[in-house]
Amino acid sequence: MRIYVYLRTMKKRLTQRPMRPFIYILSFILVSGLVFGISLKNEDPNKDKLLLEIISYVLDRGHYDPKEINDAFSENVFMNYLENIDGQHRFFIKSDINTFDSYRYRIDDELKNTQLDFFNLSYNKLMERMEQVQKFYESLLDTPFDFSRKEEISLDYENLPYANNLEGLKKQWRKQLKLNALERFTSKRDEEVSKAEKDSTYVSLSDIEIEKDVRVKIKENMKFFFEGYNELERKDWFSIYINSIVVQFDPHTFYLAPSDKDRFDASMSGKFEGIGARLQKRNQEVKIVEIISGGPVWRDEIIEVGDIILKVGQPNEEPVDITGMRLDDSIKLIKGPKGTQVILTIKRVDGTIEDIVVTRDIVELEETYARSSIIQDDTGSFGLIELPKFYINFEDYNARNAATDVKKELEQLKKKKVKGIILDLRNNGGGSLKTVVDMTGYFINEGPVVQVKSTGGKKEVLKDTDPSIIWDGPLVVLVNEFSASASEIIAAALQDYKRAIILGSKQTFGKGTVQNVFDLNRMITGGTYGNLGALKVTTDKFYRINGRSTQLEGVKSDIVFPDQYAYIDMGEKDQDNPLAWDRITPASYIPYDKMKNYEYSLVRSKERLKENPFIKLIDEQGLWVKKQKEDYTYSLDYTSYKADRETNKKYSDRFKKLEEFESTYDFQWLPEAGFEGEPNEDLIKKRERWEKSLKKDIYISEAVEILKDLSTQIKVDNTVAEVKN
């Protein structure tokens, strides 16, 4: 096909030229599609090869850090692809892997020559094995499970060997099905005991009846499971193969098949309906990776990032096990109309399992906006501004946005004569860069805020050019592991200027990159070949004004306040193939010189944390979470399984003492400065509930104490600091 010749020729010419800024590369790509003028048909068998060629071209010319396509790259693709299509070793056996192994170091050569031998071989073998499993799994479920038999199963799939043969594969399936059955059996048995305790006339089901019912339900779920797999077309598996390739560049570079692109566009519109959480499929598990501000689970605080969804049930229906299910199919079960309920079986980050009921809803935009509260005690008043995200109307910057709203909140708090302000950026995943630059300017004189380095090495320093300062008093910024991107930029800038004390987790998320989306259909003309989808590509990198990247490293808190994620990697470091940390030349800036009691406040806070009885318990909780995360072995007899489950629950219950914390401060929410009109009854109730949550927030309590230290007048006499009231 002529397009291959043109692409190879153009690529060769381009690689002989100096790298240009990404905007120019993008322009060339758009024009090149018109130059080719190719008309390709939907039924053309070379469509997959064309897609690979175009994606390789875009990555080579557009990615911030293009990779060398060599044997090491090939091996990584090989391993990642097998994990993506059979991460739990449910289908392939050892002889299959041995056959595939001849391609371990040849995928790079196939990419360069647009060959698909490895994909075709693995796809055909997967279809064959799936058909074989479908023929034997029912017979495994026809035989009662012996829950008195002592045996174990390991779910450490990364180190779990493949079965030697089909007979070995059946044994692995039997154990996996038995674990599923044991979980259901245990829950159902507890339910029967509870019913009998509440109603003396209730006739409980026998263990035999429960076990039989459990197997019937699992068989129904497995039928649903394979129906989902059988609906997949070759192109769906090929998309997985492509993403096994592009993810080697970095975790945020991703191929969006046409249906995925439609969902991506919908998510960018800001309209979400469902439970209000972003999900990710990893190691065959559906994991919560983000809680969407304004959504039902965010409002009710019933799910946390890191939790795993094991089952999804509708009211009055048997829950469906979604382990190993396609993410799209899992989402279909979870989503639903506003006002309806879904029952999720959640495995918490501490290993405990529980059912929660979520009332589906539409994400409320009002809940994503900045909001503020007055914090009072007998020493005076302090202010809190909570910012869930950096929102903006790109079509009209004069419309409501995070920067203008925070400015109004600051002015509102100043009128209340507050002595210090807390800016809460916990769980803020980022947003508009312009709002970050403007917002940072409210706390500093004019100067650089962030440096951006683009594809080709071009560097730009984004500055605050307004010399005025909205708030020049004591400032504390609250962050955690899920403060990312734009949140890290403002926290880093205020830290570098020594303008604020950063309080929170050991470090923030550590995402210091920017992505752009390429419509791959622009590469060709004639449009009869069908939709090629799009490619999300990492094109830029952020750097602090001190020259250090926020990539991987994030922003390290001045005062580390432990939490349950303290001992596990929950950020960019936990992703596959993240870009490396590096540094560039610092920008020219002058640290803020009016921050009083800075060192004194740090020392005082650290002393308080040492004496705080809750800190030791929080640290212990973090160690417990780490231990549970690293435990992959499960007992398959009822007595041991039940004992382990009760032990875990009993141990995790000790952390409920943390819920007893309640600060001595009074909180009073303020009407949103950017909100027009009077708050309705629904909003008032939500804000009152927010007040109660603030009173239970141990992190805010410590932030107020830091503000007190920052605002206290200190007279230093030699080495003795005398505090004046």
Active site residues: 485, 496, 511
End-to-end C-alpha distance for the chain, whole angstroms? 82
Q: Is 662 helix (H, G, I), strand (E, B) or coil?
A: coil
Instruction: Please state the φ and ψ torsions of residue 290, each to the nearest 5 degrees.
Output: -160, 140
Q: Count other Cβ atoms within 10 Å, centred on residue 327.
A: 13
In angstroms and rounded to an integer, the radius of gyration of the C-alpha atoms of the chain is 28
What's the rounded Cα separation, in Å, for the pair 509 and 447? Answer: 25
Compute CA 360 distance to the chain's CA centroid, rounded to the nearest angstrom.
20
Nearest to 112 by CA among 58, 45, 38, 52: 52
What's the rounded Cα separation, in Å, for the pair 512 and 547? Answer: 12
Residues shown for the chain: 725
Contact (Cβ atoms closer than 8 angstroms) between residue 461 and residue 587? yes
Q: Is 374 helix (H, G, I), strand (E, B) or coil?
A: strand
What's the rounded Cα separation, in Å, for the pair 450 and 462? Answer: 5
Q: Which residue has the tokens 């570098």?
A: 496
Task: At 232, list the tokens.
Answer: 């997949």
Nearest to 513 by CA among 69, 63, 80: 63
What's the rounded Cα separation, in Å, for the pair 340 and 326? Answer: 23
Query: Interhelix angle for 598-611 vs 698-711, to 10°?
Result: 140
Q: Is 422 helix (H, G, I), strand (E, B) or coil?
A: strand
- Strands ordered across the beta sheet of 380-386: 559-560, 501-504, 475-479, 421-424, 380-386, 371-377, 666-670
Compute CA 577 distance to the chain's CA centroid, rounded to the nearest angstrom.
15
One-letter identity of residue 294: G
What's the rounded Cα separation, in Å, for the pair 538 and 574? Answer: 18
Residue 450, strand partner residues = 462
Compute CA 559 distance to the chain's CA centroid, rounded to the nearest angstrom.
24
